Amino acid sequence: MIDALAQQFDAEGVSFSMKDHLMMIDIDNPFATAKITTHGASLLSYVPKQGASADKDLIWVSDSAVYDGKKPVRGGIPICWPWFGKSDEEGLPAHGFVRNQVWHLDKVHTYDSGVTEVLLVCDSDAFSQTLWPHAFHLSLRIEIGEKLSMALTTHNLNRYDLSITEAFHTYFAVSNPQAIEIEGLEDSILLDKLTYADAVQQQGAVVVEPPMDNVYLNQSGKVSFEDEGLGRRIVIEKDHSLSSVVWNPGPEGVKAFGDMNDDAWQTMLCVESGNVLDNAVLIPSESKHTLTMILSAENL
């Protein structure tokens, strides 16, 4: 399979490998190295070669992650779609089903600029119909350059409007989550999913205090946070996104995850971009919607 893919997608700086049962797309261009798995179309690594994050991964993956193809890899940037969080229906997987499906590699290309583009697609089929009885074509376009760009496009193939929630569930590698404050979420509507307290307006920067599972609604601007331990500022730009989610399980919550070490919460922080809860997206019949996220690192 690896040889066949290498022949079909003969792009400079692109190779293929296996990690246990999962196919990996390995990228090495003038700007960065990256690793993407076709299982869930999850990006597992993005390491810039220059600047604030040179040779330091922006992305966190658990040391105890499982690569058996039976569950999503713990870490990276999983795709939550067509619902975020728990399903309204009993027995369906959290965060949708495409993060645990094998996507089809449609295109790999390295441009003269040195930027590498990867396009993965996922289509409705008999299996997806048992979980979510709607027709769709889903594509994820990833560009590896000075910045990491990801664009998730949903094509509604039905003769009726389609409502979805979605998110890039980004796990960032951090030196100490308890030393981080997140800028850009001011004045959004805060929902605390741990306490289920009444919705309030976020005042000032978000102080990370694990455990936390906070949803920020009606927020469309740039989000950023400084990590003094790693000497960088992470910047999250997004388009057609009205929600952000901040999650860290903390020292007790992490014990509920068999694919996370007990100290894993000390080196990761999820800052997710998407459209969740009241920010659900309604896609007209035979129309498309694209959620875009661009990640970069700046010097402090």
pLDDT in tens, 244-277: 999 999 999 999 999 999 999 999 999 999 999 9
Question: Could you please report the per-residue DSSP string of 116-168?
Answer: EEEEEEEE--HHHHHHS---EEEEEEEEESSSEEEEEEEEE-SSS-EEE-EEE
Tally of CB atoms within 10 A around 237: 18
What is the SS3 assignment for 216? strand
So what's the pLDDT on residue 7?
A: 86
Q: How far apart are CA 211 and CA 179, in angstroms?
A: 14
- HSE-CB of 29 using CA atoms within 13 angstroms: 26
**Stated pTM of the model:** 0.97
CA neighbor of 227 nearest in space, from 269, 186, 169, 265: 269
Q: How far apart are CA 134 and CA 184, in angstroms?
A: 35
**The two three-digit tokens of residue 105, written as one number:** 């590699």
Please report, in tens digits, the pLDDT of each residue of the chain (300 residues total): 788 888 899 899 999 999 999 999 999 999 999 999 999 999 999 999 998 788 999 999 999 999 999 999 999 999 999 999 988 888 899 999 999 999 999 999 999 999 999 999 999 999 999 999 999 999 999 999 999 999 999 999 999 999 999 999 999 999 999 999 999 999 999 999 999 889 999 999 999 999 999 999 999 999 999 999 999 999 999 999 999 999 999 999 999 999 999 999 999 999 999 999 999 999 999 999 999 999 999 999
Q: How far apart are CA 14 and CA 26, in angstroms?
A: 6
So what's the pLDDT on residue 76?
A: 99
**The two three-digit tokens of residue 17, written as one number:** 């490998």
> What backbone phi and psi angles, to 5 degrees, belong to 207?
-90, 120
So what's the pLDDT on residue 245?
A: 99
Q: How far apart are CA 35 and CA 14, in angstroms?
A: 10
Q: How far apart are CA 69 and CA 115, in angstroms?
A: 29
User: Positive or negative, the Cα torsion across 200, 206, 208, 209?
Assistant: negative
In CATH terms, the fold of domain 2-299 is: Beta-galactosidase; Chain A, domain 5 (2.70.98)
So what's the pLDDT on residue 10?
A: 87
The domain spans of the chain are 2-299
Q: Which run of H or of E encompasses 224?
A: strand 223-227
